[in-house]
Amino acid sequence: MRTQVGIIGAGPAGLMLSHLLHQEGIESVVLETRSRAYVESRVRAGVLEHDTAELLRDTGVGERMTREGLVHTGVELRFEGITRRIDLSGLTNGRRITVYGQQEVVKDLIAARLAAGGQILFDVSEVTLEGIDTDAPVIRFAHEGTIRELSCLVIAGCDGFHGVSRGSVPKGALRIFDHTYPFSWLGILARATPSAHELIYAHHERGFALHSMRSTEVTRLYLQVPPHTELSDWPAARIWDELHTRLATEDGFTLTEGPILEQGVTPMRGFVTEPMRHGRLFLAGDAAHIVPPTGAKGLNLAVADVRFLAEALGTWLRQGRETGLDEYSARCLRRVWRVQHFSSWMTGLLHQPVDADEFSHRLQVAQLEYVTTSTAAATTLAENYVGLPLDWSRRR
Ligand code: RFL
Ligand code: PHB
- pLDDT tens digits, residue range 4-59? 999 999 999 999 999 999 999 999 999 999 999 999 999 888 999 999 999 999 99
Helix then strand count (H, E) for the chain reads: 11, 20
Query: For the whole model, what pTM was predicted?
Result: 0.97
pLDDT band at 393 (very low <50, low <70, confident <90, very high): confident
Domain ranges of the chain: 5-46+101-174+275-352, 178-267
What is the CATH number that goes with domain 178-267? 3.30.9.10
Domains 5-46+101-174+275-352 and 178-267 share a fold: no
273-315: pLDDT as tens digits: 999 999 999 999 999 999 999 999 999 999 999 999 999 999 9
What is the rounded distance in angstroms from the CA atom of residue 136 to the CA atom of residue 154?
Answer: 8
The ligand whose atoms approach the alpha carbon of 212 most closely is 2
Distance 300 CA to ligand 2 centre (A): 12
d(Cα 352, Cα 340) in Å, to the nearest integer?
Answer: 19
**Which residues are marked as active site?**
72, 201, 293, 297, 385
Q: Are 167 and 314 in contact (CB under 8 A)?
A: no
User: Mean of the pLDDT values across residues 204-213?
Assistant: 98
**Is the beta carbon of 296 within 6 A of some atom in ligand 2?**
yes
What would the CATH number be for the domain defined by 5-46+101-174+275-352?
3.50.50.60
Beta strands 5-8 and 154-157: pairing type?
parallel
Residue 363 CA, ligand 1 centroid: distance in Å: 33
